[in-house]
Amino acid sequence: MVTKDELCKKIQNVFPKAGVCGIDFDVEYDETVKAWAVDLHHGQHHLRTFIEVDEADNCLDGKTCFPLGMQIGQLKHNFDHPT
């Protein structure tokens, strides 16, 4: 399984608009759902998505980062274009 630091760096590389890990977004492993939780921050608000362990592993192994990029992109879009 990938580490928090590896996933943070990968998110920053795949989707630079997400910002900086630890400032604009946080990553932590959620034992309850057995997946990586990614929280994007925007002022007082935050949005959370979960990245499956297999998706994170595949992305860091250089296979595909599409699911990870899509989920982070959708969160970021919600901040940039609120409904």
Q: How confident is the model at residue 14 (pLDDT cuts 50, 70, 90)?
A: confident
Give the per-residue pLDDT at 7: 93
Give the per-residue pLDDT at 59: 82
- To the question of pTM greater than 0.85 for the whole model, the response is no
Q: What is the pLDDT of residues 30-81, one digit of tens each?
A: 999 999 999 888 777 778 888 899 989 988 898 877 666 666 666 666 656 6
Contacts 24+ apart (CB under 8 A), 20-26: 25/72
Q: Are 76 and 17 in contact (CB under 8 A)?
A: yes
What residue spans define the domains of the chain? 4-80
